[in-house]
Amino acid sequence: MNGDLTRRHGDTERGPVIATSFPLPDEALGLLGEVGTVAGPHGWRDALGEAAALLCLLTDTVDAALLESAPRLRIVANAVVGFNHVDVAACRARGIVVTNTPDVLTAATAELAWALLLAAVRRLPQAERSLRAGEFHGWGFWDYLGDGLEGRTLGIYGMGRIGRAVARRAGGFGMRVIYHSRTPLPADEERALDAERVSFGDLLARGDVISLHAPLTPETRHAFGRDALARMRPGSVLVNTARGPLVDEAALADALRDGPLAAAGLDVYEHEPAVHPGLLELPNVVLLPHIGSATRGTRTAMAMLAARNVHAVLSGHPPLTPI
Ligand code: DGY
């Protein structure tokens, strides 16, 4: 540990306690070892009473009760980009810095959105299941038909970093891009992406595929409820790699069974890890276990960014990626 760090009341002999709710790579442990002592992931909640820093994930609710049990906390380094599980206002009120991990997971998540989109549109899971079941008896002219993408319209709901990365990849598939976002893109970026900003109603009416990339807030919760789903194009496809509660899963199951949707691709769920039983029994929805950012390189980069934020704050510097 560096000797030049300001020692605070409550810091242990070996510097401030850094609680982590998940296993960290050696590189991150090395970095954190320069500014304190890492506790966890086993028993990390027990370390909160002493902890000056917490590295946590989307499965850890950081609310007033947790903060109450962590009176010395100076930073919550959320090692994912979404932060709907962190009570940011309560942290701020206590002077606790909150950080997240933007940028480092943008490409991986955009790639997974495209993987889901392609899988849903071309019905890949159904075709694969059929082959494994011994039903592939040779090439069939009319077998396993899905839809194409060229010339069709990709609608993006939420044009932040990941939405834009998804839009950038649309040109390669010959799709036109429309988007609905609270904030318009700067004109030059809109031009570069060849993307048109539209109202929510137009997004629903014009998108052949709609991909969700908005954060979960009180305004976006159930944005894709029964009414919105009913206004989507007949035969359209919904992809969600953002947050499950953007979509009303019961209504989605109905829209996939009775129309207007042809298919959906989901990586996130309303009540993770539960998946609505109505979705589980449908063949036209591709279901993944929240793996948007799950590449080795990306997860390492996320852990490192969280560790760097802790290192900065405990060394008396500003955080790299504050919320
Ligand atoms: C996030 O970062 O918010 C994702 O959901 C996990 O990659």
Which residue type, as a one-letter code, is found at position 171?
A: G
CATH number at residue 249: 3.40.50.720
Same domain, 279 and 300: no
Task: Pick the residue whose CA is nearest to atom 7 on ligand 1.
Answer: 293
Asked if residue 7 belongs to a domain, the reply is no
Mutate to test the pocket of ligand 1, among 78, 104, 269, 293 (most ligand atoms within 8 A of CB): 293
pLDDT class of 14 with cuts at 50, 70, 90: confident
pLDDT in tens, 76-88: 999 999 999 999 9
Domain range spanning residue 130?
A: 106-287
Asked if residue 320 belongs to a domain, the reply is no
Total domains in the chain come to 2
The SS3 assignment for 50 reads: coil
Same domain, 127 and 238: yes
What is the DSSP code string of 222-286? TTBSHHHHHTSPTTEEEEE-S-GGGB-HHHHHHHHHHSSEEEEEES--TBTTB--HHHHT-TTEE
Same domain, 217 and 180: yes
Q: How far apart are CA 101 and CA 320, in angstroms?
A: 9
Asked if residue 272 belongs to a domain, the reply is yes
Could you confirm whether 290 is annotated as catalytic? yes
Q: Which of 267, 261, 269, 266 is nearest to 237 (CA)?
A: 261
Same domain, 132 and 95: no
Same domain, 91 and 204: no
Q: Are 240 and 265 in contact (CB under 8 A)?
A: yes
Same domain, 171 and 238: yes
- What mean pLDDT, rounded, does the chain reach? 96
Indicate if the pLDDT at residue 11 is higher than 80: no
Same domain, 119 and 262: yes
pLDDT in tens, 81-131: 999 999 999 999 999 999 999 999 999 999 999 999 999 999 999 999 999
Same domain, 48 and 165: no
Asked if residue 6 belongs to a domain, the reply is no
pLDDT class of 9 with cuts at 50, 70, 90: low
Same domain, 161 and 253: yes
